[in-house]
Amino acid sequence: MLLLVEDNPAEARLTREALAECGLDDDLKVVEDGEAACDYLHQTNGFSGAKRPNMILLDLNLPKMHGREVLRTIKSDPALSDIPVIVVSNSCSPDDIKESYRLCANSYIAKPADIDELFSVIRSLVEFWFQKARIPDEP
């Protein structure tokens, strides 16, 4: 399953539309901020029994807890660090890109402005991570 950390419901909807084109929209869980993402992953604060995702799509610019912090938390937790985290951001800033990889992001996607491009990027992601790449099974 896929976890999308995105505070903007409109963005989330677009991502869901793109995933739908690939037939993956049923398996999508959306949380709206960094703290909620951590709670979800740690199955705390109402997320008890939450399903461990196969991959995380992480926006950087999040309320409460910044995406970078979420990334740091995931990658420094041995129980979670093996989940691929794809940073999906509006920022093209080299600093953000560099910092994300330094914190062990598995890839960094700058959200394209054009919807066709967005759909095509999401399709490539799905194809790569779910069909081409091998990722750990659930423990």
Residues lying near another protein in the complex (CB under 8 A): 8, 10-11, 14, 17, 90-91, 111, 113-116, 118
φ, ψ (nearest 5 deg) of residue 110: -90, 125
Q: How far is the CB of 15 from another protein (least distance, A)?
A: 10
State how far the Cα of 1 lies from the Cα of 53, in Å rounded to an integer.
5
CA–chain centroid gap for 8, Å, is 14
* Cβ closest to another protein, residue 26 vs residue 114: 114
* Cβ closest to another protein, residue 1 vs residue 97: 97
Burial of 54 (0-12, 13-18, 19+ CB in 10 A): middle
Q: How far is the CB of 121 from another protein (least distance, A)?
A: 13
Q: How far is the CB of 19 from another protein (least distance, A)?
A: 14
